[in-house]
Amino acid sequence: IYLFLQAIKDKKFFYIFLYLIFSILTVINSESGLIFPIITFFLILFFYRPNRYIYYLYAIIPVVLYFSLTYFLSIKSNVDTIFENRAIFDIRYFFELPNFENGFKSFILEYRSRSSPKNFFGYTIIFLDNILNFLNLSTYEYIFRSIEIFYLKILVIINAIAISIYLLKFFFRRNILNDKLFLKYLLLFFIALVIYSFVFHRRDICIVLALFSSIIYVYVFDYIKIYYSKIKAFLFLFVLLSPSLMYALTGFEEVYEMRSRSFIKQIHLEYSNAIKSDKINKDIPYYKDFMSLYCFRNYNKFKNNLDSFKEYSMYEFETIFSKHVDIDNNICSFNKNIE
């Protein structure tokens, strides 16, 4: 993005060339990289409006190239393109009611995960999650999950509600909403929010939301400082950051979809002890993952058995090993029932 803005400023094609190289690498390397050329396009549209329309084309070339290549390659492949996989949904099931058979907690976990259904409820929950991330309120979830004392959980809920009201009231002040520059950045934030929530349909890769969230909060900070006082401005920052400070005090015990850190430490200790054993306990948590670690750490002991895997690529090895490794007789070799 910086290179492209520099190209407009200095009118040097060399910067455009660098932008294209790095942007193409970005969109090919990472799914979330597709948003950067799109944001570049809107940045120059809102703030620069160059006379040469070719700049707009340069900005989106990486996206056009990416989708052209994926479409061409998908003609001979059964694998869905990123657009088909992420953005297309079946309208017949769009308003399908969630299944609560496994309980409300299971429903929430499913609809907030990377495999969240592409329907009305899935899109709504991911969208709200991203709004909560913007307000730094989703952190309260991890704080809440980390605390075992009931009355402290109630205090966390009350604190979250109070801070929500405190933060939101600043976004509906007439002075700040009349600021055209602020509105442009707010619109860029909203564009990124829509792309992450409805196209990528994710809540864990939202880098560009962090960028525009920071800019928006700078405006709010300046607004408070000008119309109220410096003390209230820094109080605003403290209130905004307080969930993160509280989260740090928990030792970051709960993290997104991961298991708790205390559980991970317990597993680490259990694995460390089990690696030295000659007998495998099938009841060990995530025993398929453990077997990969076990055979790796004990390679010299089982290298003759592991020789049966040498013809496979890394991807094939991971797939076959986790499903067909023998944990009863010839440990770290193929199971006899693989056929």
- Other Cβ atoms less than 10 A from the Cβ of 34: the count is 22
Distances in Å between the Cα of 86 and the Cα atoms of 77, 108, 201, 313, 317 are 17, 20, 7, 28, 28
Task: Give the model confidence (pLDDT) of 59-99 as tens digits.
Answer: 999 999 988 887 787 777 777 776 666 667 677 778 888 87
With pLDDT > 70 as the criterion, what percentage of the chain qualifies?
A: 94
Q: Residue 337: its pLDDT value, please? A: 54
CB hemisphere CA count around 195 (13 angstroms): 21
Contact 292, 327 (CB under 8 A): no
Distance (Å, rounded) from C-alpha 240 to C-alpha 203? 20
Q: pLDDT band for position 321 (50/70/90)?
A: confident
Task: Give the model confidence (pLDDT) of 229-275 as tens digits.
Answer: 899 889 888 888 888 888 888 888 888 777 888 889 999 999 998 88
pTM, two decimal places: 0.77
Distance (Å, rounded) from C-alpha 331 to C-alpha 290? 13
Please identify which residue in the block is written with the tokens 């707010």: 186
Whether pLDDT at 339 is above 60: no
Q: Residue 14: its pLDDT value, please? A: 93
Contact 175, 227 (CB under 8 A): yes
Distance (Å, rounded) from C-alpha 2 to C-alpha 10? 12
Contact 111, 98 (CB under 8 A): yes
Of 172, 160, 109, residue with least CA distance to 135? 160
Distance (Å, rounded) from C-alpha 220 to C-alpha 214? 10
For 279, which DSSP code?
S
Distance (Å, rounded) from C-alpha 223 to C-alpha 240? 15
For 308, which DSSP code?
G
Structure token pair of residue 122 = 């899935």
Distance (Å, rounded) from C-alpha 198 to C-alpha 192? 10
Contact 161, 137 (CB under 8 A): no
